[in-house]
Amino acid sequence: MALLIPGFWTSGFQNCEREIERLSEQLKEKEKETQQLMNQPEHEREKEVALLRRSVVEKERARAASDILCRSLADETHQLRRTLAATAHMCQHLAKCLDEQQRAQGNLRGKSPEPECTGGAASVQAIIEKLQEENRLLRQKLIHVEDLNAKWQRYDASRDEYVRGLHVQLQGLQAPPEPEKTSCPELMRKEISRLNRQLEERIRACADGRRELAAVRGARDAALERVQMLEQQILAYKDDFTSERADRERAQGRIQELEEQVASLRQQASWTQDRREPGSCRIHTGNRTPKYLETDALELMAPSGRRTGTGSQGLDSPTEGRCPGTTRRGQGDLQCPHCLQCFGDEQGEELFMHVAECCQ
């Protein structure tokens, strides 16, 4: 369709030019008629002149409109030609890109794929190789069965030919005179019985071959169904692998967020150590350096309006003017800012691990 558009507009442009020429000829004829009317009486001549002027004005308007239309058609024709050229250039470029892509795909098919590092991809590759091996074995069995079928067909044809020959021989044996028939009837019966036994053996062999062929075909159909089932399993394994990889990525992102939160909490703990006051507590965590956490800062980190429990779960109030070192020590020296669980002064590392898990 795109190749026919420029020709269509060109023909329209030619039609417009012919219309302009026709209108020009009509204008010349009208001018001649005007000259002829100049010799008529004044009254009629003025009427005719007015009519002719109106017609001339109308013709000029029509001619101007035709000129505008022709110019627009010429512009559209030029634009369409440029568009067609650009489209042809684009098509050539796309064809080159397609050829390059096909060649690249062919090169990639010729190269052996690199082994996957993950266990899921390795299992999928092993299943694919197993399916390919089973498919190859089934094809070999099918070729063998088809060869057997062809042999049995040739054997059936030769058997039929042999039976027909025997019938001919029997008819020939029946043709001699009566004395000769009576001389060898026993031999004929023995030969007929022998031939019948051979025929029955051949028929049984053919039946066994047909049963074997049916069994092989059933095994082939079952193998094809198994191949389809394994292909579906492969697709499911691929989906599971992609989902597990997405879960791993999300888990890694979550671990990074938790590590950032733990780093922030440690920074807050170090900040509270710098702002320690006389009511601060000294914490020893194994071989780590001593750390100071202010009890007032711990109470500010807890939710507003909530206090710790009494007994072994409660914190000593700083307003009582007592140092935590002099009060009864249980699990009330350190407190989680999220769930308000208390820890002892020897459980600093456990507090950080609990805060990392509790803030998830």
- Predicted confidence band of residue 260 (pLDDT cuts 50, 70, 90): very high
17-35 tens-digit pLDDT:
777 788 778 878 877 877 7
Distance, in Å, from the CA atom of 228 to the CA atom of 234, rounded to the nearest integer, reads: 10
User: Of 49-63, 179-193, 206-220, 275-289, which gets the smallest average pLDDT?
Assistant: 275-289
Residues 154 and 223 in one domain: yes
137 and 241 fall within a common domain: yes
* Lowest mean pLDDT, pick from 47-51, 58-62, 274-278: 274-278
Q: State whether 227 and 279 are in the same domain.
A: no
- The whole-number pLDDT of residue 117 equals 44
Q: Is residue 114 part of a domain?
A: no
- Contact at 8 Å (CB) between 345 and 329? yes
- Among the candidates 72, 100, 128, a domain finishes at 100
Instruction: Give 133's pLDDT tier (boundaries 50, 70, 90).
Output: confident
In a domain, 109, yes or no: no
pLDDT reported for residue 328? 39
One domain for residues 96 and 166: no
Asked if residue 268 belongs to a domain, the reply is: no
Q: Work out whether strand 342-343 and strand 334-335 pair parallel, antiparallel, or are unpaired.
A: antiparallel
3-state secondary structure of 86: helix
Share of the chain above pLDDT 90, in %: 5
Residue 112: inside a domain: no
pLDDT at 196 over 70: yes
Averaged pLDDT for residues 117-121: 53
Residue 177, in any domain of the structure: yes
Token digits for 75? 């512009």
CA distance 265 to 256: 14
> What digits encode the pLDDT tens for the residues 271-304?
887 776 444 444 444 333 333 333 444 444 444 3
Q: Do residues 315 and 323 make contact, with C-beta atoms less than 8 angstroms apart?
A: no
pLDDT at 118: 53
Number of independent structural domains in the chain: 3
CB atoms within 10 A of CB 113: 8
Can you give the pLDDT at residue 292? 38
pLDDT band at 110 (very low <50, low <70, confident <90, very high): low
**Residue 87 domain-assigned?**
yes
Q: What is the pLDDT of residue 325?
A: 38
- Transcribe 192-208 into DSSP letters: HHHHHHHHHHHHHHHHH
Segments forming the whole domain that contains residue 224: 120-253
pLDDT at 103: 80
- Residues with Cβ within 8 Å of residue 282, at least 6 apart in sequence: 290, 291, 292, 325, 345
Rounded to the nearest integer, the mean pLDDT of the chain is 69
Q: Which of 100, 129, 149 is the last residue of a domain?
A: 100
Cβ atoms 14, 74 nearer than 8 A: no
Q: What is the pLDDT of residue 242?
A: 92
Q: Provide the phi-psi class of 192: left if phi over 0, else alpha when psi is between -120 and 50, else beta.
A: alpha
Alpha-carbon span 161 to 71, nearest angstrom: 90
The residue out of 221, 253, 285 marking a domain boundary is 253
0.75 surpassed by pTM: no
